[in-house]
Chain A
Amino acid sequence: MRTAFAAAPAALLATLLATLLAAGPALAAGDMGAADKQAVNPIAIAMFLAFVGATLGITYWAARRTRSASDFYTAGGGISGFQNGLAIAGDYMSAATLLGLSSLVYLTGFDGMAYTVSFFVGWPIILFLMAERLRNLGRFTFADIASYRLDQSKVRTFAAMGSLTVVCCYLVVQMVGAGQLIKLLFGLDYAVAVVLVGVLMVIYVTFGGMIATTWVQIIKACLMLGGGLLLLFLVMLHFGFSLEAVAAGALESHKNGAGILGPGSLLADPVSTVSLSLGLVFGTAALPHIMMRFFTVPNAREARKSVFVASGLIGMFFLVVCILGMAAISIVGTDPRFFEGGVVGGKLVGGNNMPLMHLAQAMGGDLLLGFMSAVAFATILAVVAGLALAGASAIAHDLYARVIRKGKATEAEEMRVSRLSSLALGVVGVVLGILFEKQNVAFLVGLTFGIAASANFPVLILSMYWKGLTTRGALWGGLAGLVSAVTLVVLSKTVWVAVIGYDAPIFPYEHPALFSMTLAFLVTIVVSRLDTSARAKAEIAAYDDQYVRSQTGIGAAAASAH
């Protein structure tokens, strides 16, 4: 395993961080992109076709139930807490968590586990601080909440643009990742794979809206959990149901030996770690497609229940993934057929993201590999469908219906625009996905979470919690967060070194959140305080009513009573 683990810690960190956040970046970073197209895998394709057939059937069924804008954006608020919990889990557990986290544990042992924890702790915080207020204040989009008592056109426009930027960055990342992964697992052409993902995404969203998207996510979550648990069962069978044996096997096979039992170099710098975790925790909380899921349940009660279910499933799955990663160290890491040229310790076939797929092959042969490949594909589809819907709602509901038409658009017009928007987003996703095939898109991941945590999150949380927030404060603060997040990402290694080609980054950390989010909060608060206009006074006065609604849901029930 010498060369696989011999990579300089910094390079490892760069690749793995990126992989963790989305399917794409590490793949595009060259690791997997360089890998040859695999032979066509008939089992994987058959299983995938079964998934597509089932989801298209559901889309047809959902299309007949999608009559109003509320049906389209939020499934009419008719999703139960348990269903929504599954859908959130399906939305959050991307191909990156499946492949990236397991490969991180495979490569680094304990560091991977500590990372996994970082990906999880945002969920309880979302529940305690945000879930009920999100549900009680929001109707269709995050901009509904941010602009609740502030200037409708200005704050809504800014919030919608923030959502769209995040959605587009993340969509491109997913598309590039999808193309690379599918090329590798299914033996399809990159461009064919990207177009396929784009077409299916547009069909789900345009015809089936949130109802179809939700069910795609639910089915995918069940498949992924089922596949993960099956693999866990086979692995535990192999090790005589002893975690001790899993760990002992890993210790014996890993090049670092006992090094994998404790922290390595990945999390050694506290500033970097804190910045990363702030971005993950609060960026996740402000991702438009995640927030949107809170509007699909009828009330705050169901919203809470859905986070309880989602975090239980996500937590369980993460622990399973950690055990699988540890098991892969001895099972995959010592088997010559998983290394290029059969050299154990050389380059893994398919690149560093593949340990889990190889583990599936080792434990369950082509059948299980085919199944897990289909799950990975389904995962990408579920995530991009959620993204497209969030983007379409920002364009149609916020920009078109509220800002351009000032609320005078009919529901039919708004729905037509939202369908056209999802089509447009599909085209943008496919075109950019193909253009970025050979690019390093790691910076887009930094941008996605950086912008979500720095431009969207501070405005969102302060609008719900701080009476003193004014329109001027929200705009200047949001802008400060946006500009600083983008600037810091450009000056960091992912753009300055990897894209532009300088030797050393100006900004030493990969994730800007610690700095850009702090700046956004400071600017928002200072500008709001200095704002003594009459409008600011009215906005501050309006907080009291908003507060009652956010706590009790009075007034919110009407919004979902469709």
Chain B
Amino acid sequence: MSDPVYRRVRENPKFRELVRRRGRLALTLSLIVLVSYYALMMAVAFAPDALRTPIAQGSAISIGFPLSAVVIIVSWLLTGVYSYFANGAFEDLNNEIVAESGQ
């Protein structure tokens, strides 16, 4: 029943490599984002005083603010990391797979 083009792609070792490597990257980055975000949320719920520590002696800014900003900035940078690889090396690999699919 399977389309011959799709079957050829599935049997292409490059396809398996693409799926494995890109999938691993996506999963790793998702975990970094989710773990850091939920770590912050758990700190909010269970260690609120730690977040009130000033960033420096006598400073009016507590550590919670830069930490929250870091979660946003790092998550964004990771979207850059993913796009860099997925639109670079993985996209090249993908293009080879498409070319070899004989479509």
- Which A residues form the contact surface with B (CB < 8 A)? 110, 113-114, 116-118, 120-121, 123-125, 127-129, 132, 243-244, 247-248, 250-251, 258, 261-263, 267-270, 273-274, 277, 300-301, 304-305, 307-308, 311-312, 315, 318-319, 322, 538, 541-542, 544-545, 548-549, 551-555
CB–CB B65/A123 < 8 A? no
Contact check, A274 vs B41: say whether CB atoms are below 8 A apart: yes
**Chain B residue contacts of A125, Cβ below 8 A:** 30, 33-34
CB-defined contacts of B1 to chain A, threshold 8 Å: 538, 541-542
Chain B residues with CB under 8 Å of A305's CB are 83, 87
Residues of A within 8 A of B45 (CB): 263, 267-270, 273
The DSSP consensus for interface residues of chain B is helix
- Shortest Cβ distance from residue A306 to the other chain B in the assembled complex, whole angstroms: 10
Taken together as a complex, chains A and B put the C-alpha atoms of A472 and B92 apart, in Å, by 39
Closest to B71 in A: A117
Interface flag for B42 (CB, 8 Å): yes
Q: How far is the CB of B24 from chain A (nearest CB, A)?
A: 11
Q: Which residue of B lies closest to A542 (CB)?
A: B1
Partner of B82 from A250, A268, A304 at Cβ < 8 Å: A304
Q: How far is the CB of B9 from chain A (nearest CB, A)?
A: 5
User: With A262-B48, A273-B41, A319-B69 in contact, is A114–B64 under 8 Å at CB?
Assistant: yes
A221→B84 CA distance, assembly (Å): 25
Query: Is B83 a contact partner of A549 (Cβ separation < 8 A)?
Result: no
How far does the alpha carbon of A114 sit from the alpha carbon of B41 in the complex, in Å?
A: 8
Looking at the assembled complex, report how far the CB atom of A418 sits from the nearest CB atom of chain B, in whole angstroms. 30
| A124 adjacent to B75 (CB under 8 Å) | yes
Closest to A259 in B: B52
7 shortest interchain CB distances as A-B pairs: A262-B52, A261-B62, A247-B60, A248-B60, A263-B48, A128-B26, A545-B6
Please name the residue on chain A nearest to B27 by beta carbon. Answer: A128
Given A244-B60, A262-B62, 8 more pairs with CB closer than 8 A = A117-B40, A261-B64, A273-B44, A301-B86, A307-B79, A311-B75, A312-B79, A552-B94
Confirm or deny: B89 has a beta carbon within 8 angstroms of a beta carbon on chain A.
Answer: no
- Residues from chain A with a CB closer than 8 A to the CB of B61 are 243-244, 247, 261
B59 touches A244 (CB 8 A): yes
Pairwise interchain contact A127-B15, C-beta atoms closer than 8 A:
no
- The answer to whether A554 and B33 touch across the interface, beta carbons within 8 angstroms, is no
Flag if A545 contacts B3 (CB, 8 Å): yes
| B64 in contact with A552 (CB, 8 Å) | no
Q: Contact size class for B?
A: 35 or more
Query: What residue of chain A has the Cβ atom nearest to residue B76's Cβ?
Result: A315
The closest CB in chain A to the CB of B69 belongs to A319
The interface residues of chain B lying within 8 Å CB-to-CB of A251 are 60
A277 to B33, CA, bound (A): 13
CB distance B2 to A554 under 8 Å? Answer: no
Check if B6 sits within 8 Å of A121, measured CB to CB. Answer: no
Q: Which residues of A contact B86 (CB under 8 A)?
A: 132, 300-301, 304
A-B contact pairs, 26 of them (CB 8 A): A114-B41, A117-B71, A118-B41, A125-B33, A132-B86, A243-B61, A244-B59, A261-B51, A261-B52, A261-B61, A262-B49, A273-B44, A277-B37, A304-B87, A307-B83, A308-B80, A311-B79, A312-B80, A315-B72, A322-B69, A541-B2, A544-B2, A544-B6, A544-B10, A548-B15, A552-B98
Provided the pairs A544-B2, A544-B6 are in contact, do residues A124 and B101 lie with their beta carbons within 8 angstroms?
no
Instruction: Assess whether A113 is in contact with B64, with CB atoms less than 8 Å apart.
Output: yes
Instruction: Determine the chain A residues whose CB is within 8 A of the CB of B101 once the complex forms.
Output: 552, 554
Could you tell me if A551 and B52 are in contact, using CB atoms closer than 8 angstroms? no
Query: What's the nearest-Cβ distance from chain A to residue B95, in Å?
Result: 9
| A248, B62: Cα distance in complex, Å | 11
Contacts of A304 in B (CB 8 A): 82-83, 86-87
**Do B79 and A121 touch (CB < 8 A)?**
no
Chain B residues, CB < 8 A from A301: 86-87, 91
Query: Given the interface contacts A121-B37, A247-B61, A541-B1, does A127 sit within 8 Å of B82 by beta carbon?
Result: yes
**A312–chain B nearest beta-carbon distance, Å:** 5
- Asked if residues B71 and A121 are in contact (CB atoms below 8 Å), the reply is yes
Q: Once bound together, how far apart are the Cα atoms of A475 and B65, in whole Å? A: 44
A561 vs chain B, min Cβ distance (A): 13
CB distance from B17 to the nearest CB of A (A): 11
Q: Check B94 against A553 for contact (C-beta < 8 Å).
A: yes
**Residues of chain B contacted by A248 (CB below 8 angstroms):** 60
| B77 → chain A closest CB, angstroms | 9
Question: Nearest Cβ distance between residue A526 and chain B, in whole angstroms?
Answer: 25
* Inter-chain contact B51/A262, CB cutoff 8 Å: yes
Which listed residue (B15, B68, B97) contacts A114, Cβ 8 A?
B68
Q: Is the beta-carbon distance between A319 and B98 smaller than 8 angstroms?
A: no
Min distance, Cβ A374 to any Cβ of chain B, angstroms: 27
Inter-chain contact A552/B15, CB cutoff 8 Å = yes
Closest Cβ–Cβ distance, residue B21 to chain A (whole Å): 11
Q: Most B CB atoms within 10 A — which of A300, A312, A545?
A: A545
Whether the pair A129, B44 counts as a contact (CB closer than 8 A) is no
**Beyond A544-B6, A552-B15, is A312–B76 a contact (Cβ under 8 Å)?**
yes
Q: How far is the CB of B35 from chain A (nearest CB, A)?
A: 11
